[in-house]
A and B are shown apart, each in its own frame.
Chain A
């Protein structure tokens, strides 16, 4: 995929987005109950939350598509809703729909015109966006003939037109197949490499884990946790499936960290926190004590587990075990 042109992100100290107690009510319904957050320039920021948490409302507020009931904030240094600032912003809505009677190239041209890109650059920007999202060969087809996935790609192309400084992507892969999702991740990473700030709304926690530098978890209209993935997910752990382990040897594993047994599988032990460099010692100790090692997985709490924990829901023991990355145990299986 070709790179789109680079640009300045402005003052390094100024946040790309900053909100203070931003709230939104629809009648009696509180959609957002005091959103305070800060997104730094050039980072991929994941915005997570269950359905109805206020994620899409937050994006609409930040874009000026809806007015806040109270609170304040800035986007790219300007007050929220500033019209001229929108020239430097791209947006892929969750509900992505484009004029079905226009051709893909015409949709992008429309957005290039509305964004008031320099006339000399418009055609090149449109072509670049078409190639970035893999629609160059369908550029002259009516949007009405496109699948949902292709329309979402077109929306992504429109969002990236003209090298914006900040891009809001609201569930950008909801209509895409696994190949498409991988490509979108590459597009997001390429944008970050050019210094673009990406605000990613997503339900797909694995997707967020793969591309985001920092995340915020929002629930019932408030940010309940935020930080880098390391800050949010915390300590490293190791999961070992072992049989024939004497009870003294099991107790001795406590020297490496707290040992937990999976209630759904008594042979599965989790030791945390642990320095990953000591995992071979753990395995060697088990083997020396006569235990039979069936599997070893290094990992830490997954984003899904942390997410459910923050929301007060019970994690799925089967799912969490599967989420750990397998590593070579260093012993015969």
Chain B
């Protein structure tokens, strides 16, 4: 057991140390604090203006929750980009530089090395996403008085989204140069979000092909499906009630890319778990066959 666990922990520690020493984490934390502070000020100003203009508390809550979802989308996009750019060089840059030759000549398997890299980076990306997401939600609550129903679920979904992208770029990193792997992952992330929006419109317009594109994209890369879960966790029950009471059909509601009428299903989460197993398994297979 120690022949796998110990080298694994050595690589996890090395990866965490890498993130700390190279100041990636510190830059992200600094930028996050800046963005959280700025958005809290913005929320405070918007809520004050809305109340001065005689908006009801329900209207304020609706407005704030929608704004929070937009800010969360921006966060999720930035996190996905960050995950792509920390995951893309995780193996390829060490192969290109030759650093891996000395490491893999030690009694450590390639799968152990890869698992250590993934665990370390997933810890960095996941914890950062969780912490920054909760910080943003907390700052918004302080500024507006509104708190979403499931802040941990929302932050967790955004963190999961980042780890999905990270895992995909790690797979690319076993074969592709860093820039190519990172760029492809970001493009796929964007395409899946667009496919999700198109799927919603397809439902509204009763266009089967558009719906199918969304379904397939959420299976191939579950980032958009998980994002829907984050939206649901950020919406107050009143939003769902108002939207439903307004007489709109579920098809019409699905056309709004910043609205979700249901949370993540256990079946979908099970697929996400299977997706991780498949992608990481492919990464191990690919890395084992990679010439150094």
A residues near B, CB below 8 A?
Answer: 26, 60, 63-66, 83-87, 89, 91-93, 95-99, 101-102, 110-111, 113-116, 155, 158, 168
Contacts and interface: CB of A to CB of B under 8 A. Distances in A.
Given A26-B291, A65-B292, A97-B97, A114 B103 contact: yes
Contacts of B21: 101-102
A29 to B, nearest CB: 11
A222 B2 CA distance: 40
Given A110-B14, A114-B106, A114-B107, A98 B99 contact: yes
Interface stretch (B3-11, B128-136, B156-164, B248-256): B3-11
Nearest to B104: A65
A63 B98 contact: no
A317 B101 CA distance: 40
Contact of B102 (A87, A98, A113): A98
B98 A96 contact: yes
Contacts of A155: 102
A95 B98 contact: yes
B1 interface: no
A96 to B, nearest CB: 7
Contact of B106 (A26, A111, A168): A111
Contacts of B104: 65
A96 B106 CA distance: 15
Interface of B: 2-3, 6-7, 10, 14, 17-18, 21-22, 97-99, 101-109, 291-292
Contacts of A63: 105
Contacts of B17: 102
A86 B106 contact: yes
Given A86-B106, A86-B107, A110 B101 contact: no
A99 to B, nearest CB: 6
Contacts of A98: 99, 102
B107 A101 contact: no
Given A86-B105, A114-B7, A101 B97 contact: no
A158 B18 contact: no
Contact of A65 (B7, B22, B99, B101): B101
Ranked nearest first, the 7 interchain pairs of A and B with the lowest CB-CB distance are A95-B98, A114-B106, A93-B101, A91-B105, A97-B98, A101-B21, A86-B107
26 contacts: A64-B105, A65-B101, A66-B292, A85-B107, A86-B105, A89-B105, A91-B102, A93-B102, A93-B105, A95-B98, A96-B98, A96-B102, A97-B102, A98-B102, A101-B18, A101-B22, A102-B17, A110-B10, A111-B102, A111-B106, A114-B7, A114-B103, A116-B2, A116-B7, A155-B102, A168-B105
A300 to B, nearest CB: 37
Nearest to A155: B102
B25 to A, nearest CB: 13
A116 B9 CA distance: 12
A158 B101 CA distance: 12
Nearest to A93: B101
A99 B292 CA distance: 17
A275 B109 CA distance: 56
Contacts of B101: 60, 65, 91, 93, 95
Given A95-B98, A116-B2, 5 more contacts: A66-B291, A95-B97, A97-B99, A111-B106, A114-B106
Given A26-B291, A84-B3, A99-B18, A115 B107 contact: yes
Given A26-B291, A101-B21, A115 B106 contact: yes
A63 B17 CA distance: 27
B182 to A, nearest CB: 20
Nearest to B289: A67
Nearest to A161: B106
A102 B10 CA distance: 14
Nearest to A62: B105
B31 to A, nearest CB: 21
Among A63, A89, A116, A168, find the residue whose CB has the most chain B CB atoms closer than 10 A.
A116
A193 B14 CA distance: 35
A221 to B, nearest CB: 16
Contacts of B291: 26, 66
Contacts of B14: 99, 110
B240 to A, nearest CB: 48
A155 B22 CA distance: 22
A158 B104 CA distance: 13
B22 to A, nearest CB: 6
A93 B105 CA distance: 9
Contacts of B109: 83
A87 B105 contact: no
Among B17, B106, B108, B109, find the residue whose CB has the most chain A CB atoms closer than 10 A.
B106
A158 B98 CA distance: 15
Contacts of A101: 18, 21-22
Nearest to A107: B102
Among A95, A99, A113, A114, find the residue whose CB has the most chain B CB atoms closer than 10 A.
A114
A169 to B, nearest CB: 12
Contact of A93 (B2, B18, B98): B98
A96 B17 CA distance: 21
Contacts of A158: 102
Contacts of A86: 105-107
Contacts of A65: 101, 104-105, 292
A64 B102 CA distance: 12
A115 B102 CA distance: 11
